[in-house]
Structure 1
Amino acid sequence: MKTALITGATGGIGRLLVEGLVGRGYRIVGVARNGEKLRELQEKLPAFEYIIADLSKEDFPGTILEELERLGVERVDLLINNAGLAVRKPLLEHSREELENLFRVNTLAPVELTRMLLPVLPKGSTVVFVISGVAFINVPELPSYCAAKGALHYLAVNLERELEGRGINVVRVYPKQVKTGFFTRNGVPYPKGSIEPAAVAGAILEGIERGRREVFVPGYLKLLKYLPNWPVFTYRFRY
């Protein structure tokens, strides 16, 4: 049985990925901060195990490694760096703590976790980075999130080259705005054109199975890579 580790496993895209991979015969180790939601998910899915960890904390990779050892996990065939964090406010209104937490969760944590798990990532394994279409455009309502995902894009491109030498595959995922709790928590409606989490989860699973290097959801987002003015292009949410 193959083992998958998924961050941000309790909601939205992450939960759907958990359910989809369990259906494909994977043993799942989910990582999230909310222990109650993790336990609820385990009650519904016997193949699901979990680790409570906060990706904004510097010591989280060590916590995950210790818990994997406790669970008896000796190899991870699929790592999905899915967890994300966004703040909807002007950049000058961000506190230092908000900026640090946002960049740690969105940008640093996926790289740190991938590096720390190298001893248990065998040849032929796959690492997925759920980035965002905002890596190629600027959304004024989410200035720090755009910057963090843009940085993750470049880090993932370079990690793909470095991991190739170890026989590890990398899949980079770029969805447009998704109907997740981020918007409801901020008291705003979903932007026009927002897509369902199921569409993203399905595209990720298909991309993994087909060995794709890039997954754009919807597919036409790939055109953003070729805009002549990138990364100056600006998009404003419309509700």
Structure 2
Amino acid sequence: MTNSTRSSAPIALVTGGSRGLGRNTALALAARGVDVIFTYHSRAEEAEVVRAEIAALGRIGHALQLDVGRAATFPAFAEAVRGALAGTFGAERLDYLVNNAGIGITAPFLETSEEMFDQLVNIHLKGTFFLTQALVPLMADGGGIINLSSGLARFSMPGFAAYAAMKGGIEVLTRYMAKELGARHIRVNTVAPGAIETDFGGGMVRDNAAVNQLIAGETALGRVGVADDIGPMIATLLGEANRWVNGQRIEVSGGIHL
């Protein structure tokens, strides 16, 4: 799943790029002249649509399958990325990495099972930690990494204790990455979206009118977020204009719970 034309443009890797915020981010990057490797979990047909959308923007897209909850597969995935860089892009290095892939599990604290907790750890925290570890050797000096967190790491809502705990861990991890990768001038920041109308978490924010209205009423700008509020912001943050932003948590939520 790729275009065959070589390019000297910057190259980004976006996990979970076949749908939702990942798709929007991949397209926003392409619109700004960046070629994109993006991952999908199981729906190859969705990935092919995104690849075609990237091509329509004049950039190269390349889809790779990845389960971010299976850290044992990351060394092989890194080799697949190395092969894609050489074979599709005529390049040796990635410029940007966006750790976006994730799932939403909603359960009260007292009803959260160990299985639920472990699944969230493996995908959101362990996955981000060890996937980045595997891919940093393929990154160019002076590149950028974005780790996705959530507004729920700042404010509390019943049912998200385990999910938010993982995102809190991501925010701490981001600062450590920024410190330790600074010698290579690789910037690492956290982007924390608020509630967004996507299919994440079963599409609750998008499809449940009562939830949508409740969140809109608690947001300073008076509405729930959409994917187009997030992807372009991430693409801009990775760009040269933000080269001095490092180790920061940036919430993109329209001003919820101020």
- Give the TM interval when normalised to the shorter protein: 0.7 to 0.9
Change (3 A) 1:199 1:179: same
Please give the secondary structure, in 1, of the residue aligned with 2:162. helix
CA contact (8 A) 2:99 2:146 kept: yes
Among candidates 154, 163, 166, match of residue 136 of structure 1:
154
Corresponding residue for residue 252 of structure 2: 217
Among candidates 58, 62, 65, match of residue 78 of structure 2:
65
Please give the secondary structure, in 2, of the residue aligned with 1:30. strand
Does residue 1:171 correspond to 2:206, yes or no?
no
2:137 and 2:201 map into 1 onto residues whose CA distance is 38
Does residue 1:12 correspond to 2:20, yes or no?
yes
Letter in 2 for 1:201: G
1:156 and 1:147 map into 2 onto residues whose CA distance is 14
Q: CA deviation at 1:207?
A: 2.0
1:184 and 1:94 map into 2 onto residues whose CA distance is 18
Q: CA deviation at 1:185?
A: 4.4
Please give the secondary structure, in 2, of the residue aligned with 1:124. strand
CA contact (8 A) 1:79 1:127 kept: yes
2:230 and 2:50 map into 1 onto residues whose CA distance is 20
Among candidates 179, 192, 197, match of residue 215 of structure 2:
192
Letter in 2 for 1:43: A
Q: TM-score, normalised by structure 2?
A: 0.79
CA contact (8 A) 1:129 1:171 kept: yes
Corresponding residue for residue 235 of structure 2: 205
Q: TM-score, normalised by structure 1?
A: 0.85
Unaligned runs of 5+ in 1: 225-239
Provide the aligned length of Structure 1 versus Structure 2.
223
CA contact (8 A) 1:137 1:146 kept: no
Change (3 A) 1:60 1:139: farther
Letter in 1 for 2:232: G
Please give the secondary structure, in 2, of the residue aligned with 1:20. helix
1:42 and 1:122 map into 2 onto residues whose CA distance is 23
1:202 and 1:11 map into 2 onto residues whose CA distance is 15
Cα-to-partner distance string for 1:173-224 (whole Å, 9 max, x where unaligned): 1221111212544574435222111111122222222323332214756x97
Corresponding residue for residue 64 of structure 2: 51
Across the aligned residues of Structure 1 and Structure 2, the Cα RMSD in angstroms comes to: 2.1
Among candidates 170, 175, 186, match of residue 152 of structure 1:
170
Letter in 2 for 1:195: G
Identity %: 24
CA contact (8 A) 1:6 1:14 kept: yes
CA contact (8 A) 1:139 1:146 kept: no
CA contact (8 A) 2:26 2:231 kept: no
**Which region of structure 1 is more displaced relative to structure 2, 29-38 or 67-76?**
67-76
Please give the secondary structure, in 1, of the residue aligned with 2:141. coil
Corresponding residue for residue 42 of structure 1: 51
CA contact (8 A) 2:96 2:238 kept: no
2:83 and 2:32 map into 1 onto residues whose CA distance is 24
